Structure 1
Amino acid sequence: MKSDFHKIVFSRCLLWMVLLSISLPIHAQKQQASSVSGTIKDDKGEVLPGVNVKVKGSSASAISNVNGHYEIKANNGSVLVFKYLGFEDKEITVGSNAVINVNMSVANKDLDEVVVVGYGTQKKSDVTGAVTSIPKDRIENMVRTDVVQLIQGAAAGLNVSATEAGSNPESGAVMLIRGRSSISASNDPLIILDGIAFNGSLSDINPNEVESIEILKDASSAAIYGSRAANGVILIQSKKGTKGKVSLKYNAFYALQEVANFPKFMDGEQYYQFKKNTLNTGTDDDPAMTQSELDVYNSGSWRDWSWKDLITKSGNSQQHNLSISGGSEKTSYSASLSYLGTNGIVINDQYKRGNARINVTSNVTDWLTIGSSNMMGKINNSGASPSYIDLFNKSPLSVPFNPDGSVNIKPIADDPRKINPIENLLYDDLKVRYNASTMNYVNITIPQVKGLSYRLNTGLQYESSEKNWYRGSNTGKSGSLKGESETNAGQKFSYTVENVVSYKRDFAKHSLFLTGLYSFEGKENKIATLNGEGFANDFLSYYGITQASKIVPSYSYLKTALISQMFRLNYSYDSRYLFTGTVRRDGFSGFGENKKYGVFSSVALGWNIMNEAFFAGAKQTVNNLKLRVSYGENGNQAISPYQTLSQLGGGDYVDGTTMAPGYLPATLGTANLGWETTRALNIGLDFGILNSRITGEINVYRNKTSDLLLKRAISAVHGVNSVFQNIGKTQNDGIEFMVNSNNITKKSFSWNSNLNFAFIKTKIVDLYGDGKDDIANGWFIGQPIKTNFDYKFIGVWQMDEATEATKYGAKPGYAKYDDYNQNGVYDPGDRQLLGDQEPNFTWGFTNNFKYKQFGLSVFMYGKVGAIKANPYKDRNYLIVREFWTPENPINSFWSNSNQATRYLGKGITPSVYESADFVRVKDITLTYAVGKKLLSRAKINSLDFYFTGKNLFTITKWGALDPELDAQRAVPLQREYMLGLRFGL
């Protein structure tokens, strides 16, 4: 028994010893866990803050600080995993060394770049639609005063044309994504700012606050915005804060401006000879020189001034932008203040803009994130413009000022009808706008269901405007009325509420991203106007309008509502096969009772060919190759509210001998009026060559738009002559190409380029269902929407053509036109199509060079295919020119006779059409970055100085003010020279 006891004790002791021998190494290993630390840098030796460091197979983790330093507990033999957005993951096994420094390599940016696609983000390699991102280095480094400058010429398929020059960005630009598809409705793209539809002007946004810009061009990418996305979508994200050390940045410049191009007007002597040699001086259409003009000519006082010098001047502008950003582990913030002030190159051409923004994001818990984006601003562009119409035909033998230096409202004493072009200096003019917006969100990650989240987006936008003017009794235009004024107060308010549910999960080789939306948007606009005439005095200006002898009030009110539901499915298999499907349903209050709702859907497929096994051998050369195909439909709801309702308008009538107020039919109700619908097919190819040293994309598309919102003539028996209907069709076909190239990448020198171009063909397929053209509106089946339809100028009748000229009612020296229908006379049948008013080929080309601390950026763009009427081909414009004479039989301009272009009939004066093709060197910037060693002593992060020249050269055969501008008698294009600095702490 005793022996058995000893055996039992011995066996148990032996077991304990075995277990202890096993457990001791384990215990020792645990005890060996120690601190591992180091510094994380990129390939260039720059420290990387915010790198996520984890022990593989463990919950232990750490994040590198602002100096790139990390520290983590790890056992000997453990594997550390380093992850950082935009860089390749790195794994390192822990050894006996307690210090492990890490160098991380940049990942394939073209594939891993995160792209905003609306209600979410995707890796660029997973995007199936035609989405173009504006290069980030362009956003960060381009010297700009307006967001429009960032996108002009930067994306294939986006045509940004300046309609007018001057200091005011709002006088603006026409933005077309893949051309003009609507005839009567708006063709403006939808602007989304921080996830919410932005109802203001792009000029309200401080370009220094912009983080990213994406252009959604095809139906698949834009379909999530449904009834407003037929014209494309521009997504803008403002800058957000980053965790870490507080960053303070200051950016400022001062610029000088000069007139880039302006016609040379006749001086006194040239005008005298012009009148003296006129073949029909003294007619009603061409009056002879007045006695007062002769007196000025004989006195020689005209030599002391010119209309051009009185209208134009040297301009200047300055911009200041101060921003601060930073954050803790859970909350980040970004705030900025900016000011832009411009005194332009034309009298009273000024623009002042002040902006403030603050963005805050807070990770309240692991499952709750809140964010807020807030902006407010003031814009002042007060000042009446000079009369350009009078400027171009005003006699230089005038007296612009009185002896006391005041503006002479009757510059030609014996012709009081002629207005002084600079009379605007006598007007009081106020144009001020205030705007404020707040976009807020709450994002909840549902803890119980991995990948499921709910997001509430809200947006509020408010704008208040004041536009007042007064023309006193001391002015020619309103003096006879004893003063005239207008006060205009406007308010715009809109709000948006969006409920977004997302589910995003990866299952083995399957990746799923579902998005559901339910949203509501409301808009309300109010404008109150008072017009007044007959003031007792000029002292109170427009503030005295209540004392005017005649006051006419008016009021405008508009209110709309949009309710939407949307579902989107993104699916990826093995990062090779991609699918996107979208359905959106919109209800808009502005449409007819029977068509309040519309459904818009799209589907897109993508194939990442480079991820196929058979492509492995080619990856050394072609590292990215993706084929995309999409088809879908979007809408255009750009129509005025209440247009579908039957309305009455005011109309006075005579009751015996008394005038009494009454009402007349104004619009006829159209209960079936709905959206224009664009159905679009897009085939695209994304590529990357030589480890993305060369990247780019090619897109081929066809957009068909039907149910156009057109006004159709109807019988006047209804009391109105026209009504809006969904009729007509258009079609846009195009090819787009973009390529980015890192041409040279050396330690001391680098050169990269961005080239994009687009070709587009637009045509009207149908108008009213009968296959007929609408000549009155200039709309023709098979032709672009904006065409030229006129008599064709082919030269000047010469002396040896006198007999033939007589048959057409002309004389040698008269303008000669094409007898298009070959019937021996000029009649309306000789009018013909003379080209498209808009270009069919656009391109942009940017080159960035860097040598040590110097940088040089050159941006140029151009447009081809536009034909425009040249208004300077008008004898009545007092521009220095060469006239046809028997001794000088030129073929480019006719004789000095008023009838030379008017002999076709009363009121018929054909224009001369010219090519508006051009190449413009838009922006050249030279930068010097102060060395980091010198800056580190002063504890400064960055300090750059730059010099920029804008609109330096334009190559064109266009013979008027500027080939891109619509207005040729307006503010000329300005050339600018900027000197500035960027400073960061």
Structure 2
Amino acid sequence: MKLKLTWLLTLFMAFVMQFSFAQEKMVTGTVTTESDGLPLPGASVIVKGTSKGAQTDFDGKYTIGVNSGDVLVISYVGMEPVEVTIGASNVYDVVLKEGNTLDEVVVVGYSTTTKESFTGTAAVVKTENIEAKTFSNVSQALRGEAAGVNVIQTTGQPGSSATIRIRGFGSVNGNRSPLYVVDGVPYGGQINAINQNDIKSLVILKDAAATSIYGSRGANGVVLITTNKGDKTKSYINVDLKTSISSFDLPMYDVIESPEEYAEISWDAIRTNAALNGQANPAQYASDNLFSATGGINPYYNLWNADGNQLIDPATGRFNSGISRKYTPENWGDYAFRTGYRHEANISMSGGNEKTTYSTSLGYLNDEGTGINSDFRRYTGRINVDHQVTDWLKVGANATYSASRTTQNGQSSDTGSIFLMANASPRIYSIFLRDENGNRIEDPIFGGYQFDYGDSQYTNGLGFENSRRFSTATNGIADATLNLTRSYDNSLFGNVYFNIDLAKGLTLENRYGTQRENFDYSDRDNPYYGAAASPAIYGRLYKQISTRTNDNFLTLLRYTTSFGSSNDHSLEVFGAHEATKYEFSRMYAYKSRAILPNTLDLDQYTTTIGKPGSYSQSWTLESYFGQLNYDFQDKYFLTGSIRRDGSSRFINDKWGTFWSVGAGWVMSKEDFMSSLGAVDYFKLKASYGVIGDQGNRLRFGWQIFGIGETDEYSFTPDTERANPDLTWETSKIAQVGFESSWFNNTLDVDVDYYIKNTDNLFFNQTLPGSSGFISTFINDGQLRNSGLEFNINANILKPENNGDFSLSLGINGEMLNNEITEMPIDQITGETKIFDDRGGSIFAISKGKSVYDFFTREWAGVDPATGSGLWNLYYDDVDGNGIYDASTDVAIANMVLYKAENDNANINKTTTSVYAQATQKYVGKSSIPKVRGAFRVNLGYKNFSLSTQFSYSIGGYAYDSNYRWLMGNGRVGSDNWSTDIRDRWQQPGDITNIPRLSDDYSADAQFDATSTRFLTKADYLSLNNLQLGYTFDESKLEDIGISRLNVYVSGDNLLLFSRRDGFNPATSESGNSDIYRYSPMTTYSVGLKVQF
């Protein structure tokens, strides 16, 4: 029975095919331009509602098989499309006139559309803007390109990915990152595997109408990347060469550079400490103990030709004259950083004919970082082939291979970091070991000089050991030079498809996409110096091998048609099934005692550290979805979509339903708008939808046990209890907006306002001790992101009207509001939580506050009489006299909790010099700016072009932990100081905001503790990119076989203006600084683009 049914279906399909094409005839025509009447090669000729099409040849001519009644759509980028209905004639000549970007094809979810007909919000990033920037990761090139898209360059390490947030912060503890889709396939690999020269188009989807078709994966926006395809009419060879140099040219923190000044400030700190401890003569005590084996700085690091007690005049606190240095310590930054060289070469070939098109490319990139021994090297290859097998069958395939190597030496987030060393090392310390005469000690193993680890392993001729308080037993420069942290990544990504035109307007599309990635990570410590140099260790090697696979299957049935007396109605509807499977596995081992210490092979190490291990994880997602797009008279547009997702990450509630509706109205085509001559185009749009998110864990609902063991027992420890009832975070997104063009397409203004309410948030909640676990994840609480986005572009000067001059300006921005609207249930009390300190972070959450509102103690300045730091202490003024009395009034430790329990509290404040007594509270400051965005200026004159892009942020604060580190009040010799330390309190009556400096006096140790003292305005203006180019006249290139030649120079990360030199709020999601962070590089490039 099944065999008979199969044969019947086959015969039926054959009958349908035969009937569909029985009436076909061949028609021809010529496509010309209205402006000059010249033929237009490369114009697209498509039978509407099918994938069948052709392109015009060099003479603008085309030939295509059609049926009577078919509609041909003839289009070309930058021209208004024309539709022609096939009748009795066999010749159809078409004239295209210049249009605008409204009719350009835009890739959206599982379909293509035009800006005019799209009811959602899709930001199209121009490829020339991406190509103008010099980055090794396309995600970093997105900075400033779209309103509401915050691109955070968290590190300057070559090849690293940027953190991207679209329209705020989509979760508290869950996923906040967008979905990447490459050539229609969800992409889960390293973004740095994508060569940005291979990108044809890049579109960012933001609202529900745009992203809901991706269901549970589109809640935080979608980035669509389409790679280059071939051309039916022309063959090209493109060569792109670029060479660059990189350096740290952005401002750095101003620190004490002079060893003499550092010694004077250290002396003052010791003197202050002696006075606080009751020393009879604090000044003399400080001079005697500035360099001391029992206090002060270790005498080994006395770099002057005098004893330590002879350096500072006790009467003045100044360095005695006539004292010379035995040596000058090296500048740590000079050894930590270098000029990086970057070389990039890309070659691509594309072409084809009426049946087949192809595009191939090869790419090479070698990007040296400005941090020593940091680099990113990548080789890429890509091929893309499309073939029209018959009039009803089209097939294609593309594949991209990437092999990369990343070196990240000296980038640990601890005292071995080269960035910590360069930023915070006191300038009295040498990088290398020195003898009693100040001479550097030669290295008998590696050559050069031995590094100073400050680990008491060397004693000079005076009997002093090299024991220092700064980064004890480490040396980041040594680690970056002698050790190795390196990874290799091999990635293969591709897809195959076949599309069948079943009948007029009815197409069956099938696609399989796959990704295979292997990741090899090694971290090696040398056996001769540093942490692994002891005989018991003698070198260490940690190895980690990971594999990742991602398979995606899609079957989609699409129907398009136009109907009505003048084809006023257009309809597209499709339904689809998609299945995704993701698998990840990892093996790791750690060994010591090297046989051949320069290898990365575990077999060359004899002793296992801990236990080797491995694990694997996987998840699957099955989806059914559909969409309807309706258009009436190219004025009224309606879109609806629905998707049903089932995820293996959950147990009891695997399935979620997500949907959206969107509408657009082109008001400028209405008769009542015709009298408004200034308005060229005006469209209103609105959308609403529900989208889910499945979080960032592969097995949210499953109980995962690790294996531990002692000498006698094995056990399965676990601290987190699984929650089988866990399910989707759900976002309800509403948007209204308009798109407009004014004054003969001189001014474009687009504005969107959105509200995104997310509930069933993932919260990690503490459990009662009796449960046997510490915490569990639950769905609870609500979060709202709302905001206004704007995008304004103005073509001030057009070359056809201004003697070859052109000038265009563009600015975009977002005004974001983020708020916790409901708090979760406390799993211990069973009541709604009032407050969550997020593990002691400077940010806390409670109802009505954002995820980035600062919760800390308030700095109240410095006591002029004593120099002590002061903080605000809030108290319940029980007797109402306005004077704090500890015996009757109630000191408030946590303002939020106290107010919640005491509605009628009479709250007042005073100051305290005891940090622990100060009140923790919301301080009325947030890291979320009032407005953030970018602007661009493009200039042109004849064949010259100049483009610039700036980013800006206004409002908002950040915690400058780097500055806090440099204003520390610990023991002298432990860290360097900011030059602002010169303005510290030094004697009674001094009016300053910088407290006294003492050498580890216990009461003063909290002066640099977390408080509003180090909250800093996060306003900034940065020049992200500047490019100056020249394109040669084509007429002068024809004789040498070149069709296009462009040369250019460019710069990236050129300028930064912020509240404080060295402070860069754009390098973290919260704006907070990090002393260990690899700062963004400034890069200068020269390049050549040739097309044959």
TM-score, reference length from structure 2: 0.79
Aligned-pair distance for 1:488?
Answer: 0.7
After superposing the two structures, state which structure 1 stretch, 181-190 or 689-698, moved more.
689-698
Spell out the pairing of 1:55-454 with structure 2 (5 A cutoff).
64-66=56-58, 68=60, 84=76, 86-88=78-80, 104-107=96-99, 109-139=100-130, 141=132, 144-164=135-155, 166-170=156-160, 172-259=161-248, 260-263=250-253, 264-278=255-269, 279-280=272-273, 288-295=296-303, 300-303=325-328, 305-385=330-410, 386-402=417-433, 403-404=441-442, 405-411=448-454, 413-415=465-467, 417-424=472-479, 425-446=481-502, 449-454=503-508
The 1-side partners of 2:425 and 2:246 are apart by 26
Aligned-pair distance for 1:382?
Answer: 1.8
Name the SS of the counterpart of 2:264 in structure 1: helix
The 2-side partners of 1:111 and 1:609 are apart by 14
After superposing the two structures, state which structure 1 stretch, 307-316 or 477-486, moved more.
477-486
Assess if the C-alpha contact under 8 Å between 1:409 and 1:476 holds in 2.
no
Query: Percent identity over the alignment?
Result: 25
Matched, 1:977 2:977: no
Assess if the C-alpha contact under 8 Å between 2:404 and 2:490 holds in 1.
yes
C-alpha change, 1:268 and 1:961, in structure 2 (3 Å) is: same
Matched, 1:783 2:845: no
The 1-side partners of 2:228 and 2:305 are apart by 62
Name the SS of the counterpart of 2:706 in structure 1: strand
Aligned-pair distance for 1:315?
Answer: 1.8
The 2-side partners of 1:345 and 1:666 are apart by 41
The 1-side partners of 2:542 and 2:295 are apart by 35
Assess if the C-alpha contact under 8 Å between 1:894 and 1:900 holds in 2.
no
Unaligned runs of 5+ in 2: 1-26, 47-52, 65-71, 85-91, 274-285, 307-323, 411-416, 434-440, 443-447, 456-464, 826-831, 876-908, 969-974, 1069-1073
Unaligned runs of 5+ in 1: 1-34, 55-60, 73-79, 93-99, 803-810
After superposing the two structures, state which structure 1 stretch, 862-871 or 208-217, moved more.
862-871
Name the SS of the counterpart of 2:1066 in structure 1: coil
The 2-side partners of 1:786 and 1:83 are apart by 48
Show CA shifts across 1:611-657 (max 9, x none): 22322333x4212211111111111112322331233333446xxxx
Instruction: Specify the alignment match of 2:707 in structure 1.
Output: 650
The 2-side partners of 1:665 and 1:940 are apart by 66
The 1-side partners of 2:845 and 2:1082 are apart by 37
C-alpha change, 1:894 and 1:959, in structure 2 (3 Å) is: farther
Instruction: Specify the alignment match of 1:797 in structure 2.
Output: 863
The 1-side partners of 2:633 and 2:454 are apart by 79
Name the SS of the counterpart of 2:139 in structure 1: helix
Letter in 1 for 2:687: S
The 2-side partners of 1:853 and 1:396 are apart by 51
Assess if the C-alpha contact under 8 Å between 2:785 and 2:816 holds in 1.
yes
Aligned-pair distance for 1:286?
Answer: 11
C-alpha change, 1:406 and 1:233, in structure 2 (3 Å) is: same
Instruction: Specify the alignment match of 1:853 in structure 2.
Output: 943
Assess if the C-alpha contact under 8 Å between 2:985 and 2:992 holds in 1.
no
Assess if the C-alpha contact under 8 Å between 1:962 and 1:968 holds in 2.
no
Letter in 2 for 1:765: T
Show CA shifts across 1:416-449 (max 9, x none): 7342221211113321111110122111111xx3
The 2-side partners of 1:544 and 1:927 are apart by 53
Aligned-pair distance for 1:582?
Answer: 1.0
Assess if the C-alpha contact under 8 Å between 1:915 and 1:958 holds in 2.
no
The 2-side partners of 1:101 and 1:679 are apart by 49
Aligned-pair distance for 1:755?
Answer: 1.5
Show CA shifts across 1:776-795 (max 9, x none): 54222211112322222343
Letter in 1 for 2:647: F
C-alpha change, 1:844 and 1:906, in structure 2 (3 Å) is: closer
C-alpha change, 1:285 and 1:353, in structure 2 (3 Å) is: farther
Matched, 1:555 2:555: no
The 2-side partners of 1:62 and 1:556 are apart by 52
C-alpha change, 1:901 and 1:348, in structure 2 (3 Å) is: farther
Name the SS of the counterpart of 1:855 in structure 2: strand
The 1-side partners of 2:1039 and 2:514 are apart by 46
The 1-side partners of 2:670 and 2:848 are apart by 44
Aligned-pair distance for 1:833?
Answer: 3.0
The 2-side partners of 1:450 and 1:607 are apart by 29
Instruction: Specify the alignment match of 2:1030 in structure 1.
Output: 928
Letter in 2 for 1:792: E
Name the SS of the counterpart of 1:819 in structure 2: strand
Name the SS of the counterpart of 2:116 in structure 1: helix
C-alpha change, 1:411 and 1:664, in structure 2 (3 Å) is: closer
Show CA shifts across 1:652-686 (max 9, x none): 46xxxx64222234432322100100001100111
Matched, 1:661 2:692: no
| Aligned with residue 647 of structure 2, among 554, 565, 588 | 588
TM-score, reference length from structure 1: 0.87
Letter in 2 for 1:219: A
C-alpha change, 1:231 and 1:38, in structure 2 (3 Å) is: closer
Letter in 2 for 1:253: K
Name the SS of the counterpart of 1:548 in structure 2: strand
Letter in 1 for 2:590: N
C-alpha change, 1:52 and 1:566, in structure 2 (3 Å) is: closer
Matched, 1:884 2:1016: no
The 2-side partners of 1:855 and 1:681 are apart by 40
The 2-side partners of 1:297 and 1:67 are apart by 86
C-alpha change, 1:828 and 1:535, in structure 2 (3 Å) is: farther
Aligned-pair distance for 1:269?
Answer: 2.0
Name the SS of the counterpart of 2:362 in structure 1: strand
Spell out the pairing of 1:710-789 with structure 2 (5 A cutoff).
710-747=763-800, 748-769=804-825, 770=832, 772-777=834-839, 778-789=844-855
The 1-side partners of 2:766 and 2:429 are apart by 48
Letter in 1 for 2:123: T
Show CA shifts across 1:65-106 (max 9, x none): 23557899xxxxxxx9976454246899xxxxxxx9997421
The 2-side partners of 1:647 and 1:167 are apart by 34
Name the SS of the counterpart of 1:717 in structure 2: helix
Aligned-pair distance for 1:752?
Answer: 1.8
Matched, 1:864 2:954: yes
Name the SS of the counterpart of 1:125 in structure 2: coil
The 1-side partners of 2:453 and 2:140 are apart by 42
Letter in 1 for 2:177: D
Assess if the C-alpha contact under 8 Å between 2:384 and 2:399 holds in 1.
yes
Instruction: Specify the alignment match of 2:1041 in structure 1.
Output: 939
Matched, 1:624 2:690: no
Aligned-pair distance for 1:584?
Answer: 0.5
C-alpha change, 1:422 and 1:621, in structure 2 (3 Å) is: same
Instruction: Specify the alignment match of 2:552 in structure 1.
Output: 496
Name the SS of the counterpart of 1:305 in structure 2: coil
C-alpha change, 1:36 and 1:124, in structure 2 (3 Å) is: closer
Spell out the pairing of 1:821-970 with structure 2 (5 A cutoff).
821=875, 822-825=909-912, 826=914, 827-833=917-923, 835-871=925-961, 872-874=963-965, 875-876=967-968, 877-881=975-979, 882-886=982-986, 889=990, 891-898=992-999, 903=1004, 908=1009, 910=1011, 912-966=1014-1068, 967-970=1074-1077
Assess if the C-alpha contact under 8 Å between 1:266 and 1:880 holds in 2.
no
C-alpha change, 1:734 and 1:287, in structure 2 (3 Å) is: farther
Aligned-pair distance for 1:397?
Answer: 3.0
Report the number of matched residues. 911
